[in-house]
Amino acid sequence: MIPRVRNLNWTTVGPVVALALLAATWGTKPGPVVVAFVAAFLGVAVLAAVHHAEVVAHRVEEPFGSLVLAVAVTIIEVALIVTLMISGTGEDTATLARDTVFAAVMITCNGIVGISLIFGALRDRVASFNAEGTASALATVATLATVCLVLPTFTTSGPGAEFSSSQLAFAAVMSLALYGLFVVVQTVRHRDFFLPVTPDAAIDPDVHLAPPTDKTAIRSLLMLVVSLVAVVGLAKITSPSIEDGVDSIGAPPSAVGVAIALLVLLPETLAAVRNARRGRMQTSFNLAFGSAMASIGLTIPAIALATVWLEGPLVLGLGATQIVLLAITTLVTALTVLPGRATLQEGGVHLVLFAAFLFLAINP
């Protein structure tokens, strides 16, 4: 009798096939047919990542579940940035870290927040969340973005919009310290500030589901890592096609980083939307702001360490247009989160800011 193969479904097979496809196409520039095949399995890997992230989140509960997905995506994103910086030339990669991190902040704080508010408000008319925890997360994101992305534009010790070695080391240490402090506050000292507060959350059918076993959660955690590696790797494989498309419409090179960031953050976007549709707005916000925070707080220290052996300039300072977008995003988000309640209007405002960021990335 042939034994049954348990737990063998698309969420398990899909990421493994995507990873095998990544190994087969790594270092090549595939043709249109192969690129379409890669894009299809990229979508499979994204959906699988969302599934496994939700399994892990159900086992460890909030806010640990959101933290796991945010940190996992960011670590792999950092690895991708460092890989691209090593393989590219100094001029081509000088602004790569800055463009990727800034794109992540705009995507999370405007795109994910905006679409989550739309779905949350459509479900409950008024989307409710915890103002204390969300405001704390926003303050951390704004401080990290200012120290790491705005100040280099105005310092005078380094050439252009660059930090000197000591300034870069200071920014890296402060980023790690502030991110670490937030994690302690979020998961230990004030965990209740980051839990869903929707009044009818008790009738959410997912609340009454038995949590998965440790074995199932560990398996999903491993498959989450496999899925995210596949997502980031396949995004890199498709990047030459994205570059060709960017060149064909006359967009600047930084638009490539925006497109790749959109692909890399797809798992978190889908997870945030699914939580918003279930009335768990706080979980959506944990994913959004946690991803923005991790993107800065982990990427900048890693890039600072990588500059020990990387050659070429490291431009971190934002341009005038980007600083304006960051400032208005911070102001609007503060007005959104401080009341602890938001409507379709706030969601629409964030999506307009997100659209402005995308438009200006293509047509600066």
pLDDT of residue 1: 37
Q: Is residue 4 part of a domain?
A: no
pLDDT of residue 202: 46
pLDDT of residue 204: 53
Q: Is residue 309 part of a domain?
A: yes
pLDDT of residue 348: 96
Q: Is residue 16 part of a domain?
A: yes
Q: Is residue 118 part of a domain?
A: yes
Q: Is residue 26 part of a domain?
A: yes
The pTM (predicted TM-score) of the whole model is: 0.81
Report how many domains make up the chain: 1
Q: Is residue 3 part of a domain?
A: no
Task: Report CA-CA distances (Å) from 215 to 55, 219, 269.
Answer: 11, 6, 27
Which segments of the chain have a pLDDT < 70?
1-8, 61-63, 65, 76, 80, 83-92, 198-211, 239, 242-243, 246, 253, 256
pLDDT of residue 241: 73
What is the rounded CA–CA span in Å between residue 103 and residue 11? Answer: 28
pLDDT of residue 203: 46
Q: Is residue 2 part of a domain?
A: no
CATH of the domain at 76: 1.20.1420.30
Q: Is residue 1 part of a domain?
A: no
pLDDT of residue 265: 82
pLDDT of residue 83: 66
Task: Report CA-CA distances (Å) from 130 to 93, 187, 245, 350.
Answer: 39, 15, 41, 19
User: Which structural domain, as residue segments, surrounds residue 270?
Assistant: 10-362
Q: Tell the burial category of 154 from Cβ atoms under 10 Å away from its Cβ (0-12, 13-18, 19+).
A: exposed
pLDDT of residue 344: 94
